[in-house]
Amino acid sequence: MKRTASQRKHTPGEIQVWLCAAGLACGLLMIAGLLLLIFGNGVVVFWPKPISEFTVRSADGSESKISGELVKTQLRRTAEGGTKAEIQLFTGNKDAYGLGFRFIDKEAILSESRPEGLMLAERMEYGDALFHPVQLKRKDGATLPASAPEFQGTLQQRLDEGNRLRSRLLHLEKGRIGKINARIKAMELRIKELLAGGKSGTGPEVSALRDRIAREQKGFDTLVAESRQMRARLEEDELTVRLSTGEERTLKTGSIVYCYEPNRLSLIGKLGVFLHHVIEFATSEPREANTEGGIFPAIFGTFVMTILLALLVTPFGVIAAIYLREYASQGLLVRIVRICVNNLAGVPSIVFGVFGLGFFVYGMGAFIDGGTRIPLPPMWWFPVAIAFLVCLTGSILLAVQSPPAGAESENRRGFGTRLKPIVATLTVFLGVLTLFQCPYFHGFFSSSLPTPTFGTGGILWASLTLALMTLPVVIVATEEALAAVPRGVREAALACGASKWQTIQRVVLPSALPGVMTGVILAMARGAGEVAPLMITGVVKLAPSLPLDFEAPFIHAERKFMHLGFHIYDLGFQSPDSEAAKPMVFATTLLLILLVVVLNLAAISLRAHLRRKYQASAF
Amino acid sequence: MPPESATPDSSAVSSSAPAAPLDPAFIEVDHFNFWYGTKHAIQDITMEIPERQITAFIGPSGCGKTTLLRNLNRLNDLIENIRHEGDIRIDGQSLYDPSSEVISLRKRVGMVFQKYNPFPKTIYENVVFSLRVAGRNHKAELDEVAERSLRGAALWDEVKDKLHESAYGLSGGQQQRLCIARAIANRPQILLMDEPCAALDPVATLKIEALMTQLKEEFTIVIVTHNMQQAGRVSDRTAYFYMGRLIEYGPTMQLLSNPREKATQDYVSGRYG
């Protein structure tokens, strides 16, 4: 049977539309699934779950009790080829049981109950404890049984006291003792320098310093004694508890951070516990190899690194793009440069990490610390330095030289214009050689060597490495934005008597700013989520201090830092108890995504603001 | 005061006889040839443009009228692979003389474009742009220039209360008048207009045309237009171009009503093509 075009069932192209829609739907579904998984698991971590007490018959027929939080039910293959249902239970009490998790065959469970008096305590060490409280014992020997009406209040009061004491202890040890330590170290370095400079060990300067060290040492000892006393006070009160297995143990109230009775909580009570967990997670420092406590240093480190990255990558990328698009004559060379830039975006990030380690950390960092290791002999260095000065003079002359009068200066490129990139490259090369091979520079931190200051991974080097990695993104986006600025606006500026640079600076760049911001946003998003290059250029599992604080000079660019992405890797694959760390992995992932979203939203609103200000007329 | 320029009497403008020019050969185009790559866009054109009059360039698309206009301030220099022969002189001084500089040339020759193109800045900054790039930043001077130029472009009364708002908030006709204000801010001698009304509606067009007849008191105006009626309404002299050649050049009334050349006759009467 013949069909004419008008009798066709489908319009041509209808199926293609469906295929496109299906492709988009697949992509969206995968992204939505990933986000839902992270969001679901990440939020549930903080919600208090009920704790069940199981009566279990063991292999020899005896009955025992065990309590814990149900994690999951799964099927296990048995040796005979069948399957058996089993449950995974979070039992806590790692100090008593040896493990925090246990698998129990469903068949072996005789009964399950949810006793209201069961208590969950988050501790400084050994993770959570699950128990029935028995009595509270003060240091004077007075005891308070758990059945007493004032037991809850007294226990809470003890815990608050302990938390206050701990925060004071932290302030004392990290702040005041740390400061004295830094001062003593600085004075010891000074003595070392003086001795190296030929001063006698018994001279007036050295002995004055030694006296001051002795005085500081005395203050140090007093503070250490104070901290020891505070530690002892944390050990004073004891809580006697009975585990579900029947065993009785004592816990120091000073080691408990937070405790609640999960089975007795109302909805509002659960919400309170949830909020407490969220706040603790976002604001406090990690405990127990990062599997407990918060991740504030990692949030802060990621934030500072991303901001630093944006500040470093923007000027370089924009300047490079302006030259490529506006000044360079569009020939073969520029095409090759553009291809190289685009390919740079495809280089594996770990390669950038290795480059950062070699060039920034071991090259520039070591140079800042102690000058060059193998300097050029002066007889070679001086000619290089003179060549550099000649090139510099040449570039300055080329730069200030007015365009060749009369000739179609902006179009016909004279000899000087062709020379410019070559002279600029030569100048930079010789300048770097002159600086890095200078035999008269011995570094800013040579006295503290062999301990490196900048010659080891740090937030500055990590940010620089990421800036290098994300440079192509910014260059490409800026070039696109510059190309999109309407020709009419440029011509109008030139017709007003503006020079080429004035046109770019006053008219073209403002119009292109929203596009440039898009590039920076993409660079930030990529940089913030990157882990591999950071692992070798400055990220650590646990950083003792933040890269920004109230101690002069406030910005510590040489410090190592923590990063959410690395934290995820560390928790998930490097932690001693990966089961216990799993919830933290989800929560950290969720937070990293949130941080990237927040940073991007800030940049997008900035871009929208710029767009309103500089929007090209719609026509 | 209502802006008188808003309701121009066009018939009065077109019928007035051209006033005697101060210098009949203010701009001299002397055997000028111009190539885009291998395309010979302007072929041996010689003409004299008088001072303080409006000279219109008409002709079909691609006839070279815009190319010649853009050579008067050397805006064509931006294009790759161009070449010229012959000379253009303004007030006796050659544009291509090795001692003349393109930036100072463009300060003497303002330009208004077909598509209004204000900068992404405030109205005020748009007007004073040419002073800013010349390094003149005294507030009193800038204020004075802004007001004078906007009055000169018959825009002052409409924008005086929003000088520091974005220029993109204005209507199309207002934006084009803003571009005129910008072009005359630096007091150039010559004002080039490349189809200044092509993107505007009839009312805005009438405003711009009335403005041009005012501006010729002060500036030498060269206008490119596709619209013969417009050439008739505003210009004193008209040049007809075809295929890169100057076919006929003379007083507007004569050229439009009684052309010497058959080709001009065909074009102005609509038989072209």
In order of start, what are the domains of chain B with their CATH numbers?
Answer: 1-11+23-91+190-273 (3.40.50.300), 119-188 (no CATH)
With CB atoms and an 8 Å threshold, state whether A411 touches B113. no
Q: Which residue of B has its CA nearest to A404?
A: B98
Residue A501's region, left for phi above 0, alpha for psi from -120 to 50, else beta, is alpha
With CB atoms and an 8 Å threshold, state whether A407 touches B99. no
What pLDDT, on a 0 to 100 scale, did the predictor assign at position A30?
Answer: 95
Q: What would the pLDDT profile of A188-219 be if each residue is shown by its tens digit? A: 888 887 887 777 777 777 888 888 888 888 88
List the single residue in B82, B97, B107 with the smallest CB-CB distance to A497.
Answer: B107
Distance CA B135, CA B122 (A): 18
**A100 alpha-carbon distance from chain centroid:** 29
To test the contact with chain B by mutation, choose from A496, A501, A506, A507 the residue with the greatest count of B C-beta atoms within 10 A, namely A496
Q: Which residue of B has its CA nearest to A409?
A: B77
A145-150 long-range Cβ contacts below 8 angstroms, 24+ apart? A146/A117
With CB atoms and an 8 Å threshold, state whether B179 touches A497. no
List of chain A residues whose C-beta atoms are within 8 Å of the C-beta of residue B115: 488, 619
Please tell me the least confidently modeled range out of A359-363, A574-578, B82-86, B142-146.
A574-578
Total CB pairs under 8 A between chain A and B: 104
With CB atoms and an 8 Å threshold, state whether B80 touches A410. no
Q: Which residue of A has its CA nearest to B78?
A: A411
What pLDDT, on a 0 to 100 scale, did the predictor assign at position A3?
Answer: 54
> Does the CB of B56 have a partner CB in chain A at under 8 Å?
no
Pure H helices in A45-111: 94-97
Q: pLDDT 10s per residue in chain B (273 long)?
A: 444 444 444 444 444 445 555 677 788 888 899 988 888 888 888 988 888 889 999 888 888 888 899 888 888 887 878 888 888 888 888 888 777 788 888 888 889 988 888 888 889 989 999 888 888 888 898 999 999 889 888 888 888 888 888 888 888 888 888 998 898 888 888 899 988 888 778 888 888 888 888 888 888 999 998 888 888 888 999 999 988 888 889 898 888 888 888 888 888 887 664
Per the listing, tokens 């109302």 go with: A266
> Does the CB of B96 have a partner CB in chain A at under 8 Å?
yes
With CB atoms and an 8 Å threshold, state whether B186 touches A408. no
Q: What are phi and psi of A90, to 5 degrees?
A: -90, 110
Bridge partners of residue A160, in order along the sequence: none
Quote the DSSP letter at residue B151: H
Candidates 1.10.357.10, 1.10.3720.10, 3.65.10.10, 1.10.600.10; CATH matching A296-371+442-614? 1.10.3720.10
> Does the CB of A246 have a partner CB in chain B at under 8 Å?
no
Distance CA B232, CA B257 (A): 10
What pLDDT, on a 0 to 100 scale, did the predictor assign at position A34?
Answer: 92
Pairing of strands B39-49, B27-36: antiparallel
What pLDDT, on a 0 to 100 scale, did the predictor assign at position B122?
Answer: 87
Distance CA A286, CA A166 (A): 14
**A6 pLDDT above the threshold of 60:** no
> Does the CB of A609 have a partner CB in chain B at under 8 Å?
no
Distance CA A156, CA B108 (A): 85
Pure H helices in A235-295: 267-283
List the single residue in A409, A497, A507 with the smallest CB-CB distance to B119.
Answer: A507
Pure H helices in A496-549: 500-503, 509-528, 532-535
Candidates 2.60.120, 2.40.160, 1.10.3470, 2.30.30; CATH matching A52-117? 2.30.30
Quote the DSSP letter at residue A498: -
What pLDDT, on a 0 to 100 scale, did the predictor assign at position A409?
Answer: 44
Rounded average pLDDT over A145-155: 84
Distance CA A423, CA A425 (A): 5
Say which residues have a Cβ less than 8 Å from residue B129's Cβ, sequence separation at least 6.
A493, A496, A498, A506, B119, B121, B182, B185
Instruction: Answer with the residue of higher pLDDT: A15 or A3.
Output: A15
Q: Which residue of A has its CA nearest to B96?
A: A406
> Does the CB of B116 have a partner CB in chain A at under 8 Å?
yes
List the single residue in B74, B115, B133 with the smallest CB-CB distance to A502.
Answer: B133
User: Å from B264 to nearest chain A CA?
Assistant: 31
> Does the CB of B101 have a partner CB in chain A at under 8 Å?
yes
Bridge partners of residue A242, in order along the sequence: A132, A248
> Does the CB of B94 have a partner CB in chain A at under 8 Å?
no
Distance CA A135, CA A115 (A): 18
Kindly provide the b/e burial profile for residues A49-60, where b requires at least 16 CB atoms within 10 angstroms of the residue's own CB.
Answer: eebbbbebeeee
Quote the DSSP letter at residue A615: P
With CB atoms and an 8 Å threshold, state whether A489 touches B117. yes
> Does the CB of B97 have a partner CB in chain A at under 8 Å?
yes
List the single residue in B75, B118, B182 with the smallest CB-CB distance to A494.
Answer: B75
Q: What would the pLDDT profile of B158-198 be if each residue is shown by its tens digit? A: 888 888 888 888 888 888 889 988 988 888 888 999 888 88
With CB atoms and an 8 Å threshold, state whether B96 touches A406. yes
Say which residues have a Cβ less than 8 Å from residue A604's Cβ, sequence separation at least 6.
A521
List the single residue in A405, A494, A510 with the smallest CB-CB distance to B101.
Answer: A405
Say whether B27 sits in a helix, a strand or coil.
Answer: strand
Q: Which residue of B has its CA nearest to A500?
A: B103
Residue A219: both structure tokens together: 């203050």
Answer yes or no: are the C-beta atoms of B175 and B116 closer than 8 Å.
Answer: yes
> Does the CB of A486 have a partner CB in chain B at under 8 Å?
yes
Per the listing, tokens 């018994």 go with: A202
List of chain A residues whose C-beta atoms are within 8 Å of the C-beta of residue B174: none
Q: Where are the beta strands (DSSP E) in chain B?
A: 27-36, 39-49, 54-58, 82-90, 93-94, 109-112, 190-194, 220-224, 237-242, 245-251
> Does the CB of B14 have a partner CB in chain A at under 8 Å?
no
List the single residue in A406, A488, A493 with the smallest CB-CB distance to B115.
Answer: A488
Instruction: Answer with the residue of higher pLDDT: A175 or A263.
Output: A263
> Does the CB of A44 have a partner CB in chain B at under 8 Å?
no
Quote the DSSP letter at residue A507: I
List the single residue in B107, B115, B120 with the smallest CB-CB distance to A511.
Answer: B120
Q: Which of A318, A363, A333 is nearest to A456 (CA)?
A: A363
Answer yes or no: are the C-beta atoms of B170 and B200 closer than 8 Å.
Answer: no
Rounded average pLDDT over A77-101: 84
Question: So what's the ipTM on this one?
Answer: 0.84
